């Protein structure tokens, strides 16, 4: 099973290619849609990595795709600028998920 990167910048793509992960750079929503559809057509791709910018810019679209598709797994990754998440996002996520304050 392969991984595939859809990135908004060349630095992330270059780093992932050095690790053996192929990918593509896109900037617009229609380019993102075409890249995802192309990745879905490849049965060898098990994980699609998306830079976090796409989830920030197109949250409704990304969430709907994640809910509709079981495979491949779609994962948001930070880009070269770092994560856009709060430092305590894991604790907050667990608190929200189980309803307990840790």
For the chain, give every domain's residue range. Answer: 2-98
d(CA 34, CA 44): 18
CATH topology of domain 2-98: Rossmann fold (3.40.50)
pLDDT recorded at residue 101:
62
Residues 6+ apart with CB under 8 A from 10: 25
pLDDT recorded at residue 61:
87
Q: Is the pLDDT of residue 89 over 60?
A: no
| Each residue's pLDDT tens digit, 25-77 | 999 999 999 999 999 999 999 999 998 888 888 888 888 888 887 788 888 88
For the chain, give the secondary structure using H, E and C. Answer: CEEEEEECCHHHHHHHHHCCCCEEECCCHHHHHHHHHHHHHCCCEEEEEEEHHHHHHCHHHHHHHHHHCCCCEEEEECECCECCCCCCHHHHHHHHHHCCCC
Q: Is the pTM of this model over 0.85?
A: no
């Amino acid at each position: 099973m392969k991984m595939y990167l859809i990135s908004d910048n060349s630095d992330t793509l270059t780093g992932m290619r050095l690790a053996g992960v192929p990918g593509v750079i896109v900037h617009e929503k229609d380019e993102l849609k075409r890249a995802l559809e192309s990745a879905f057509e490849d049965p060898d791709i098990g994980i699609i990595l998306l830079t976090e910018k796409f989830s920030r810019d197109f949250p409704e679209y990304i969430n709907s795709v994640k809910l509709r598709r079981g495979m491949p797994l779609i994962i948001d990754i930070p880009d070269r600028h770092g994560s856009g998440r709060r430092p305590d996002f894991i604790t907050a996520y667990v608190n929200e998920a189980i309803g307990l304050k840790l």
